[in-house]
Structure 1
Amino acid sequence: MNYSSHAPAVWEPAFADRDDCTLTSDECVVLAEHYFVKGLIEIPVVGSDEVFSWAVWVSLSRENFSRARDLWEKPGRESEEPYFGWLTTDLLPYSPTTLNLKTYVHTRPVGERPLVELEPTDHPLAVEQRTGITLERVREIAAAVLHADGGEQR
């Protein structure tokens, strides 16, 4: 019920050896100019109490990234206003691409990954986040992801 991306789409393996690049399980910095956080796009599964989620990367401005980092371990951080960002994970089961969809990153209590809310457009992923998906759709996504790359998204 969850698929995760290891790094933002712009990450390259050669960045791992650079001093101006960082990749952890929660954040990423590329060339000291591009800033990303990992969050969850949650999609309700219709007819159940289950939630399907994509763990994705979202780019933030330097200011918002710094603010999120400063508050990362602070109780009450969930009262922070959402941060605007761009989705930087290409979720292969969707067409057109999910890259550069507009998002809002909602900080949640300490220990919880942020919630990524997509701008309410007619993109299939945004529609699914608003309206939910069936268990059959979850199976379709699982088959597509596992067939494409073993569960890792770009």
Structure 2
Amino acid sequence: MKNKLEVCSCCGKLVPADILEISFKFPDDIAKLREPERSSRIKGNDDAVALDSTRYFVRGLIPLPVNGRDIPYCIGAWAEVGIDAYRRIYELWDDESQGNESPFQATLANSIPGHHKSNCYGLSLQLTGPSTRPDFKVTDEATELFKQQTTGITLHEVDDYNSWFR
């Protein structure tokens, strides 16, 4: 069965109508470790990990509005946070009112294809609820990812993101 195709409004290219989303399994600095070193150096789970008990990471989403769609395209990524933020996020993880917490300062911990040195972009990490991953807002205004998050992307750009992981 073939995917339904739509015409991209910016270029006329036919792109898949179903929006798949890319996701990173680990922060880059953890992904490059080999087993069993990785297992011995990290503690945590699929949503939060500590590397050598000195670096702390939280998994979340970078939402990108899609022009002409109600639902954003989200990149599943990791952010590095300080120990105090990590502890506070852990305290609030199952709290229904965690979304009321002020955003945390963070740094993107993954290299997003097509975005040079994105693994050091500044982020604002906002908790959203106990059954959803936090939202990451790019704070480095000079970056294309900030622009995309602010103004939106086309279906063509969605297809470009997905092509990196095909």
| TM-score bin, normalised by smaller chain | 0.7 to 0.9
CA distance in 2 between partners of 1:55 and 1:92 (Å): 13
* 3-state SS in 2 of match to 1:50: coil
The TM-score normalised by the length of structure 1 is 0.88
Shift of 1:133: 0.3
| 2:38 alignment counterpart | 16
Structure exhibiting the larger radius of gyration computed from Cα positions: 2
| 1:50 alignment counterpart | 71
Shift of 1:50: 2.5
Q: Report if aligned partners of 2:121, 2:140 keep a CA contact under 8 Å in 1.
A: no
* Structural RMSD (CA): 1.3
Moved >2 Å (runs of 4+) = 13-17
1:81 to 102, 112, 134: 102
The TM-score normalised by the length of structure 2 is 0.82
Q: Report if aligned partners of 1:78, 1:109 keep a CA contact under 8 Å in 2.
A: yes
1:121 to 141, 158, 165: 141
Superposed counterparts of 1:5-154, under 5 Å: 5-11=24-30, 12-14=33-35, 15-18=37-40, 20-94=41-115, 96-146=116-166
Shift of 1:3: 1.0
* 3-state SS in 1 of match to 2:129: coil
Q: Which deviations, in whole Å up to 9, do the C-alpha atoms of 1:56-102 show, x marking residues without a partner?
A: 100010000000001101111111110000100111232x2211100
| 1:4 alignment counterpart | 23
Q: Report if aligned partners of 1:7, 1:23 keep a CA contact under 8 Å in 2.
A: no
CA distance in 2 between partners of 1:87 and 1:6 (Å): 14
Q: What amino acid is the match of 2:137?
A: E
Q: What amino acid is the match of 1:25?
A: D
Identity of aligned residues (%): 21
Structure 1 runs not aligned, ≥5 long: 147-154
Shift of 1:120: 4.5
Tell me the number of residue pairs that the alignment of Structure 1 and Structure 2 aligns.
144
